[in-house]
Amino acid sequence: MVLTDALIADRRFNCYIIMKNFLFTLYQWPPNHLSNIDNFQLVHQFIWKILFLLDERYETMIELINYFIYVGDYHQQTSLLTQAKSLLHDLYEESERRYRKGSRKEILKSFRMLEIIYRIYMEYLDLIEWKNNGQISASASAIRVDKLKTNFTDLMDHFADDPIPELNLDIIPLTILELSIDHLNDTDEAFETLLKYSKTFPDNLNGHVFLYEFMKKFNHLNVDSNVPIDCLRNIERLCPDSKY
């Protein structure tokens, strides 16, 4: 952390690059690394220092949330979900406070996107936490899942109108996929989501790969025969050396 403090202070380094490398480092640590409260506090301090040097804070917020979902849900470090929610809440409140003191248009745009992302992902983290603790009924789950799907779809539509090339949005269709399959057992809706994602972002290789692999796995779906062919054409266009 001493090294990272020095990097923040050195203006020759782009803060966004520092943050991206820090996130990469997080993923290299064991999933339970931040279960240690001292380690979590060090990460908290670093994120707090650097996040507000970034104009487009919502990009970093998405990646932070993705990391906590990765370790908290997929690696069953559920205590980190509570810590993550607290951290995200603090970051959001501080962003709101700073936004109200400023007037730059780019800060306004960043805050508005942060507001949308914060609301959607906090709902998703709630759902994960309740699911893991067995504290949510089937009816309440269906209502929340439907709301989350709508919110994530709105987020995808927003970035379709105002794209950010360097921002990886793959978490959005994958989340909707999980919600549709695991909670609602609705493969048709999952297919429509992946199809929309591949069409909305035609130059995203993963969008076409996700859709093609989904059609292979759920081959009972009544799909236009041109869809898998178009998938393969796009995969070859974007990655000529692919295995497909």
Q: CA-CA distance, 177 to 211, in Å (whole number)?
A: 11
Structure tokens belonging to residue 70:
């990765």
Average pLDDT for residues 2-17, to the nearest whole number?
48
Give residue 102's pLDDT: 62
Specify the pLDDT at position 8.
Answer: 38
Which pLDDT score, from 0 to 100, does residue 106 have? 57
Above pLDDT 90, what percent of the chain?
A: 13
| Segment 69-120, tens digit of pLDDT | 777 776 777 777 777 787 778 777 877 776 776 655 555 666 666 677 777 7
pLDDT score of 202 more than 60:
yes
Average pLDDT, the chain: 75
**Predicted structure pTM score:** 0.60
Whose CA is closest to 127, among 174, 67, 77, 85? 85
Q: Which residues of 75-110 are buried (b: 16+ CB within 10 A; e: fewer)?
A: eebeebbebbbebbeebbeebeeebeeeeeeebeeb
Residue 181 vs residue 47, higher pLDDT: 181
Which of 145-159, 164-178, 194-208 tops mean pLDDT?
Answer: 194-208
What pLDDT band is residue 211 in, cutting at 50, 70 and 90?
very high
pLDDT in tens, 214-244: 999 998 888 898 999 999 999 999 999 888 7
